[in-house]
Structure 1
Amino acid sequence: MTASPGDGRNTATPSASPSATPSAVPYIERGTPAFWHASLALLFAGYATFSLLYCVQPLLPAFSQAFGVSPAQSSLSLSFTTAALACAIFVAGFISEGWSRRAMMTASLTVSSLLTLAVAFVPHWHTLLVLRTLEGIALGGVPAVAMAWLAEEMHPEGLGLSMGLYVGGTAIGGMAGRVITGICTDLLGWRVAVAVIGVLGLAAMFAFRALLPPSRHFSPKSGLGFAHHRAALMRHFARPGLPVLFALGFVLMGSFVTLYNYIGYRLIAPPYNMSQAAIGAIFLVYLTGVLASPWSGRMADKFGRSPVLIAAIALMLVGVVLTMFASIGMIAAGIGCLTIGFFAGHAVASGWVGRLAREAKGQAAALYLLAYYLGSSIVGSIGGHFWASWGWGGVTGLVAVLLVAGLAGAWMLRARERAGAA
């Protein structure tokens, strides 16, 4: 059956091999061995990306103590990485059209894991920041390319679930990066903790390489000049709905990272006086994201994307409010709500980008992730100044304003979806 231009199938001839039209090449169907191999491979890629990226987040107080830097300065160990990653993803979205997707993701995971191992041995704060910046550049070859691979190879009816499983892998990585580093830091110090994350990243890379099937709807293309990329870029911004999804990426990640960045400073201080291991244990709520991501993808496939997206952002807002209470139980519940809402919203929004983009899906994914990681970098750092000036109330106020803006954007997409235009 021939797909319509807007149904999310990769029907553009540039993404198919010259020897076969896209309609002649089968998509990966949900439930087949190839589907599960691909989903597990990209789950490992998502795990490695987020564990390597966010392993320093629970270490921000430890960095303040070890290197004598302020909370806002300590947050640069994450903000510099995410800013570099945002820029690298944007570039990767362009060059990925001329490279093997599998080779690019493998190289990215390998180099970033090795750089994480190097961070464990740095003697000076500025050296650590340089290595973390380089790590962000190295990681740029995974997220946009992974999203593009799924959009190109998966049957549209299974795209929501497969994207949800990939995002679930990022949830596992985010949890493992925080929990492992928190426990190892208390037992053996932060340097050993970071080294362990680097070794696990290499192991995930080998699993990814062994499991990912070859691309069937994409072959690298040469001779794509600046004019081609510029024209494709302009078409993405002119495509109704895509710019709103890019903005939602900024809102979702900026809100999520900001709250996680500074909750450790709140809990390590009186009246809580929690240890690094105890704070790390709170991040076990990331397991909820592992379940929420594929579930929300399936619900979006079944009931529509905008209702799930609106509910996810609203749940994040409820979580922010709950963290304002003094009870540790309420704080933990708030973090849980924020985490479930974030991973559900990100799974839906990222999959929606791949369906709306009619061409150059790697570039469209890169634009979404550029905004996504800029939100982490910009809002995450600004949150340090809000914490220093107004405490936890300032942090939650900043995040709440962002999420209200995100709800407005999701309602705009709902109107388009109801009209059958998105």
Structure 2
Amino acid sequence: MTGDRRQMVDAGVSPRIARGTPQYRRTSLAIFSCGFSIFALLYCTQPVLPLFSEEFSVSPAQSSLALSLTTITMAIAMIFASSLAEAIGRKPLMLGALIASSLLTLLLAVSTQWSHVLWLRALTGVTLSGMPAVALAYLGEEMEPQAVAPAVGLYIGGGALGGMSGRLFVALLADYGSWRLAMAFIAVTGLGSAVIFWRALPPSRQFQPRGLDFSGLTLSLIRHFRNPGIALLVVEGFLLLGGFMVLYNYIGFRLQAPPFNLSQSLAGLVFAVYPIGSLGSAMMSNLAARFGRGRMLIVSILVMMAGLGLLMPDMLVTTVLGLAVMTFGFFGAHAISSGFAPALAERDKAQASSLYLLFYYIGGGVAGSLGGIFWSANAWTGVALFSGALMAGTLLAAVLLARRAPSH
């Protein structure tokens, strides 16, 4: 035990969770498990968007609403969820989010009307909102400062692995069974993760509950927007997920069309590159701690743009390689950006994280659906050019952010 931790114990103050302790390992398991399932539940519809178009007779842009509605409603609800977490606590809200989202996905598996699919996915976004911003706030409160960045990287990595597994298993089950069976599988996985999360996550020791007061939320958000660093951060988040999401939304349409003509399951195998995102988040987070957040954020976005360049030729090898490179850079950038929000906020750190994630997910939802217009107009070339424009804006925002925000 260090001198500072011993003094805290002697003074009756609960010490924060240190890296390498049993509490750190339990927290890491819980956060990784919940991140895994939350993002599997969020993105499980992405690989079956072409099937939705066929079964429900809707356009590619309309089918993308099965994902875009979820991300947009989640983003908006997160602002209120973070305030709710200040009253009832972090762990109860995160656990409830995971259970409710899993149950709604079970209902999705038996839906027979397109309107029901959209309503369920919109409600799933609301229930999912209880996890992302609150998880980052929990880590910022309960972890020692030097343990926060690796823990955030692990959470983002769990999300990357969950996003990959959800997409991959859904694609395989949809081809050899049905998309309904795939949704049921993801839902059951989410309920299993809820049990792990409930048993493993230590209760909050630094959290001080406050009354539920939405009246102060507007003032809190205005205060954050007056911070130039946070204002740039939300712009960067909006463009970051937008440029990434539009590519993943329409890669299945591209691979199942000429000249590739792949089956649903073979096209879904491209999502196997997603674990590279875990490597990207962990590696770039560690490099950010050494060389500075701003510098490594710029590097991560440049890696994304290099991956986009590889996605342009009609060659399967370069398509898979480009998606892998782009995914590595994206998760590195997101891990670094996520750590910026609580570092920049002087108070109401949960709201600061929610504000970043609000624009992050709205950007993904808006761009994901707008991409359908570009697909209809000029197929993959139109989608890639749209993504490239968003990435260029992301890079500019990152350069400006690096000049204003703290380096560590």
SS in 2 for 1:384: helix
Q: What residue is the counterpart of 1:84 in the other structure?
A: 73
Within 2, Cα distance between the matches of 1:309 and 1:217?
30
Deviations 1:361-390 (A, max 9, x none): 111111011001101110110000011011
User: 1:86·1:140 contact (CA, 8 Å) conserved in 2?
Assistant: yes
Deviations 1:289-332 (A, max 9, x none): 11221222111112210111111111111111111111110011
Q: 1:119 to 1:242 in 2, by over 3 A?
A: same
Deviations 1:44-86 (A, max 9, x none): 1111111001000000011111111110111011111111111
Q: What residue is the counterpart of 1:220 in the other structure?
A: 209
Within 2, Cα distance between the matches of 1:343 and 1:277?
25
Question: What is the letter of the counterpart of residue 224 of structure 1?
Answer: D
Q: 1:68 to 1:141 in 2, by over 3 A?
A: same
1:353 is aligned to 2:341:
yes
User: 2:292·2:407 contact (CA, 8 Å) conserved in 1?
Assistant: no
Alpha-carbon distance, 1:244 to partner: 1.1
Question: What is the letter of the counterpart of residue 281 of structure 1?
Answer: L
SS in 2 for 1:241: helix
Question: What is the letter of the counterpart of residue 48 of structure 1?
Answer: S
Q: What residue is the counterpart of 1:410 in the other structure?
A: 398
Question: What is the letter of the counterpart of residue 294 of structure 2?
Answer: S
Alpha-carbon distance, 1:401 to partner: 0.9
Q: What residue is the counterpart of 1:191 in the other structure?
A: 180
1:255 is aligned to 2:243:
yes
1:125 is aligned to 2:120:
no
User: 2:84·2:212 contact (CA, 8 Å) conserved in 1?
Assistant: no
Map 1:42-121; keep pairs closer than 5 Å. Answer: 42-121=31-110
1:306 is aligned to 2:294:
yes
User: 1:79·1:381 contact (CA, 8 Å) conserved in 2?
Assistant: yes
Question: What is the letter of the counterpart of residue 370 of structure 1?
Answer: L
Q: So what's the TM-score if we normalise by structure 1?
A: 0.92
Alpha-carbon distance, 1:165 to partner: 0.2
Alpha-carbon distance, 1:239 to partner: 2.1
Q: What residue is the counterpart of 2:198 in the other structure?
A: 209
Alpha-carbon distance, 1:230 to partner: 2.7
Q: 1:223 to 1:106 in 2, by over 3 A?
A: closer
Q: What residue is the counterpart of 1:156 in the other structure?
A: 145
Alpha-carbon distance, 1:115 to partner: 0.4
1:387 is aligned to 2:387:
no
Q: 1:285 to 1:355 in 2, by over 3 A?
A: same
Within 2, Cα distance between the matches of 1:88 and 1:163?
22
User: 1:43·1:168 contact (CA, 8 Å) conserved in 2?
Assistant: yes
User: 2:16·2:143 contact (CA, 8 Å) conserved in 1?
Assistant: yes
Within 2, Cα distance between the matches of 1:247 and 1:28?
32
Within 1, Cα distance between the matches of 2:77 and 2:33?
20
Gap runs ≥5 in structure 1: 4-19
> Greater shift after overlay, 298-307 or 195-204?
298-307
Q: 1:238 to 1:135 in 2, by over 3 A?
A: same
Alpha-carbon distance, 1:342 to partner: 0.9
Within 2, Cα distance between the matches of 1:313 and 1:385?
25
Q: What residue is the counterpart of 1:264 in the other structure?
A: 252
- Structure 1 ranges of 4+ moved more than 4 A: none
Question: How big is the alpha-carbon RMSD for the aligned residues of Structure 1 and Structure 2?
Answer: 1.9
Q: 1:189 to 1:152 in 2, by over 3 A?
A: same
Q: So what's the TM-score if we normalise by structure 2?
A: 0.95
Deviations 1:67-121 (A, max 9, x none): 1111011101111111111111121122221111100001110000000011000
Q: What residue is the counterpart of 1:7 in the other structure?
A: none
Deviations 1:109-148 (A, max 9, x none): 0000000011000111111111111111110100010011
User: 1:162·1:294 contact (CA, 8 Å) conserved in 2?
Assistant: no
Q: What residue is the counterpart of 1:240 in the other structure?
A: 228
Gap runs ≥5 in structure 2: 5-9
Alpha-carbon distance, 1:357 to partner: 1.2
Within 2, Cα distance between the matches of 1:152 and 1:181?
36
Within 2, Cα distance between the matches of 1:345 and 1:225?
31
Within 1, Cα distance between the matches of 2:218 and 2:373?
37
Within 2, Cα distance between the matches of 1:421 and 1:80?
35
